[in-house]
Amino acid sequence: MNRNILLTGSTGFIGSAVLKRLNHSTGLNLRLLLHKKIPELHLSAHDEYRYCDLACPETFNDICDGVDAVLHLASYIGDDQYLCEAVNARGTEALADQAKRAGAKRFLYLSNAAVYGYAVHRNADETEATVDPATAISRSRVRAEQAVLDNNGIVLRPLFVYGHGDTHFIPALIRALERFPFMIDGGRARLSVISVDDLAEVLVDLATDEWSQKHQGVFHVNDGHPVSFKEIAVSLAACVGSRLPPFSVPLFIAQSMVRLTRRGIFQKSGLNSSAHRIFLVARDHYYDASRLWNLVSVKPGPPLPENLGQYKDWYRRFVHAERKG
């Protein structure tokens, strides 16, 4: 039996990897929710796309009619509080409500473990970590999560995602490694990560596998191999030639230096977001994702130090761009 899948965010970092895998799956009809026209987008004869704006639910036009599952990967990730609320919170609430009214059997929402705010976690499972959002984007994601959970949907919380198409996680680390001659506390912080390809496999599995009540609630998603900031830095130095800082400073000094420099890692706007991002890579943030891996039929790939090589061509351009600067 064919399944009808609605996918949002199909042109983004994670969404494009998911779309690629969905296009290689049999028995699926895809409906893509697009914000603007994409001339180079190629779909099969059984697929379709609709133009609408998550910030304007009146443009949805029964987008979920006839849909079996919704894969909601689109989000606004900037610091504009109005857009965070309009796109992430109210947009998701409206989409989840429409999916429920249309009879969609499953709704998957991609959130982020940053919703836990300023807390340190070491192998915490979904019951041990408490939501305490510290930024506008996290607050809007918490609202979106609640709308999905109220409709018996699935919320996935990765922390950091890397791979082809990444312009945020590893590129931000490369900028830091190139601009500052230090790591925070020697780079001891251990982090949860997952490759975009592993994450896409999980999302497609959840959208297309047999469905039951077990497929509801919040799930951490990572590769199960916590990696330290220093291990990431060493891997980047070996793989793409980024600098390996010789010094170590405590977190409060690093935050002060980043605030004062004109060429900081992040833009001057969104200081709360910048401070939180630095905190996330400066303290332990790794999570138990065993519930998820026991549920899906796919398995995670190798840890980042072994896996980074397949994405080296993508990340080398950021080193070159930084040095041209």
CATH label of the domain that carries residue 116 = 3.40.50.720
In a domain, 180, yes or no: no
User: Could you tell me if residue 109 is inside a domain?
Assistant: yes
pLDDT tops 90 at residue 40 = no
Say how many domains are in the chain. Answer: 1
- 45 burial (CB, 10 Å; 0-12 / 13-18 / 19+) is exposed
Q: Domain limits at 80?
A: 3-161+195-223+287-300
Please indicate, yes or no, if residue 119 is contained in any of the structural domains.
yes
The distance between the two most distant Cα atoms of the chain, rounded to a whole number of Å, is 59
Q: Is residue 269 part of a domain?
A: no
- 243: in domain: no
Residues 84-141 have pLDDT tens digits of 999 999 999 999 999 999 999 999 999 999 999 999 999 999 999 999 999 999 999 9
Report if residue 231 sits inside a domain: no
Confidence of residue 275 (pLDDT cuts 50, 70, 90): confident
- Name the pTM for this structure: 0.93
Query: What mean pLDDT do residues 292-303 have?
Result: 95
* Residue 202 tokens, joined: 């999980």
Tell whether 55 is covered by a domain.
yes
Average pLDDT score over the chain: 91
How far is Cα 15 from Cα 206, in angstroms, rounded to an integer? 14
Q: Which of 219, 220, 203, 211 is nearest to 7 (CA)?
A: 203
Predicted pLDDT at 60: 87
**Strand duo 285-287 + 121-124: pairing:** parallel
pLDDT digits (tens, 9 = 90+) for 245-268: 999 999 988 878 767 664 444 444
Q: Is 86 helix (H, G, I), strand (E, B) or coil?
A: helix
Q: Where are the alpha helices (DSSP H) in the chain?
A: 13-23, 81-83, 91-102, 136-150, 169-179, 196-208, 229-240, 251-260, 271-282, 290-295, 304-307, 312-324
Residue whose entry in the numeric block shows the structure tokens 């918490």: 142
Q: List Cα–Cα distances, 69 to 28, 34, 108, in angstroms.
A: 11, 17, 8
Residue 182 lies in a domain: no
